[in-house]
Amino acid sequence: MAPALQRRIIGTAAALAAALGLAGCAVPLGSGFRIERQELSAEYIPGPQPALRVRAFWRVKNTGNQPLDAVEAGLPEAQSHARSELRVEVDGQTVPLPAIPSASVVHAAFPEPLAAGETREIAVSYELRGTRNESAGTDVTKEGFILPPGDWAPVLLRPKGTFAASSDPPKKWQMSFRVPAGWRVHSSGTLKGVDRGKRDGAQSAVFRFTETRAGNLPFAVGGAFQEEKLETDGRAVIFWTRQMLPADTAQRAAETAAAAAEFYDQAFGAPPQEARTLWIIECPRSSACWPVPDAALVGSDINRSDAGPALLRQVEQQLAPTWLDFQVHADWDKEPLPMGAIADYAAELAAAAREGGDARRKIVHELLDSYDYERARQPEPPVFSVMLSDPASARRFARLKSELFFFALEDEAGRDNLEDALRHLLRAYHGGVWRADDLRAAIEQEGGKELAPLFRRWLVAAGVPEAFRSRY
């Protein structure tokens, strides 16, 4: 999942906790507002450098006991998301932009203070262009777009002040996407309808979705896709690709997706919104994209007649976050790893179950080979010390070590105890963050075995224990 999204989730959780602390007061003791209405829309703008024009609308009511001078909205980071053309409106009137338009927070000042009990209408709009960035995941191309959960969309922030408070979004709200005629859109929420017509002389379609507060953070994938639907093992698998797939390729991929979903259900429990329909979507670029819930966004290799094990691994890897990262998230600001690699470990287990035989041992052996290759090229950083700001090579190295750590933990504590601990944390921490200490406490409770030395040996010290190497 995109790291900037993780930071947004952490901040939102902190704001919600603060608001809940004031729940006993009928009226906040300071500034406060309630979101009475919320809408989010995006329009695809074709051209040599295509863009998505995003617009958010809110109607807010001052629920505090003092006037409210302004509100602030959190925005996608300008550089990582190629954001431009920022515009802010209050009651239909454009307000001055901040001195630094690239800032990730915009200040919407009211022409007159908003008195207690009064309402204001606020709109924030901008364009997202086709620059792809590893830390963002957002992508816009001539073939389509990918908007990973949440981070591409603006959010209203809690007012500043010790006693300030704000509300959650409404229980239900609307999201729509205007795209060229013939395109398809897969999104969070429930599809309510598609309106077709002309815009600026060109045929277009508007996909309208109803979102819920309890659902996934907003996400969407759109493009000019061919559709094929297969039923396997009680699940529907929908393919969206730029050309129809060879029949045997589609069948193998569908069977792999259904088997992976069943494996993840058994290992980690079904997600709150159970994934009975799965999607395999060709990324707008040639390589795999960031996943979205219930979907694998695979690379263009899916169109090859000889697409084989690498494609099946992609499907397993891309579906794993639906059960893990989209339920509970690593603390990307303070401790990205090892928990940021838990979905990778789960995908390796799913692949081992699919391949059978000695596959698990072979997978660990391959990880050890990759680890040794990295260690020959660079000093090994302690897993706990690696941050998202570090070079990609260091993050790749620490991620490999993290995957190996989970296999070592499984060997030491037992597979059943590890899965029981993860299921417990997924229920207890749903929508929040988890850290290595949380996992250690949970698995020690399940198995009754002290694991602190193993955690230190793998996550702080360098190298791989010889006992582990000899096992594989």
Tell whether the model's pLDDT for residue 132 goes beyond 60.
no
The CATH number that applies at residue 137 is 2.60.40
Contact 128, 138 (CB under 8 A): yes
CATH of the domain at 385: 1.10.390.10
pLDDT in tens, 293-326: 999 999 887 877 666 788 899 999 999 999 999 9
Q: Are both 44 and 130 inside the same structural domain? A: yes
Structure tokens at 380: 């090994």
Co-location of 314 and 364 in the same domain: no
Residue range 151-162: average pLDDT?
83
**Beta strand 68-74 pairing with 226-232:** unpaired
By CB neighbour count within 10 A (0-12 exposed, 13-18 middle, 19+ buried), where does 92 fall?
Answer: exposed
Q: Are 80 and 24 in contact (CB under 8 A)?
A: no
Give yes or no: residues 45 and 116 share one domain: yes
Q: Does residue 416 share a domain with residue 351?
A: yes
With a CB cutoff of 8 Å and minimum separation 6, the contacts of 24 are: none
Tokens 């929040």 sit on residue: 432
The residue from 255, 288, 323 where one domain ends is 323
Residue 349 and residue 451 in one domain: yes
Residue 250 resides in a domain: yes
Task: List, for residues 235-246, the tens digit of each pLDDT value.
Answer: 999 999 999 988
Considering the domain boundaries, does residue 144 fall inside one? yes
Same domain, 394 and 265: no
18 and 153 housed in the same domain = yes
Q: Is residue 220 part of a domain?
A: no
Q: How many domains does the chain have?
A: 3
Task: Output b/e per residue, 120-157; b: 16+ Cβ within 10 A.
Answer: bebbbbbbbbbebeebbbbbbeebbbbbbbbbbbbbbb
In this structure, what token pair is assigned to residue 34? 């309630």
The H or E element containing residue 72 is strand 68-74
Domain boundary among 271, 293, 323: 323
| Residues 299, 348 within the same domain | no
Query: Is position 188 within any domain?
Result: no
pLDDT surpasses 50 at 21: no
| Dihedral sign for Cα atoms in the order 307, 400, 373, 410 | negative
Q: What is the pLDDT of residue 160?
A: 76
**Sheet of strand 220-223, all strands in order from the earlier edge strand to the far edge:** 139-140, 144-147, 220-223, 184-187
User: For residue 216, is it within any domain?
Assistant: no
Looking at the structure, tell me whether residues 47 and 121 fall in a common domain: yes
Mean pLDDT computed over 126-144:
79
Residue 435 lies in a domain: yes
Rounded Cα gap, residues 111 and 161, in angstroms: 21
**Domain span including residue 168:** 3-179
H-type alpha helices, 175-308: 247-268
Give the CB-side neighbour count of residue 448, counting CA atoms within 13 A: 0
* Most confident among 22-31, 89-98, 163-172, 438-447 (mean pLDDT): 438-447
Q: Do residues 263 and 173 both lie within one domain? A: no
Could you tell me if residue 132 is inside a domain?
A: yes
- Is residue 291 pLDDT above 70, yes or no? yes
Residue 100 makes CB contacts below 8 A (sequence gap 6+) with none
Looking at the structure, tell me whether residues 146 and 23 fall in a common domain. yes
User: Is 209 domain-assigned?
Assistant: no
Q: How many CA atoms lie within 13 A of 397 on its CB side?
A: 25
Give CA separation, 100 vs 72, 86, 107, 432, 450, in Å: 14, 11, 11, 31, 51
**Conformational region of residue 294, where left means phi above 0, alpha means psi within -120 to 50, and beta covers everything else:** left
Find the range with the poorest average confidence among 40-49, 266-275, 288-297, 417-426: 266-275
pTM above 0.85, yes or no: yes
Among candidate residues 185, 300, 289, 287, the one with its CA nearest the CA of residue 249: 300
Q: Which residue has the tokens 């529907």?
A: 236
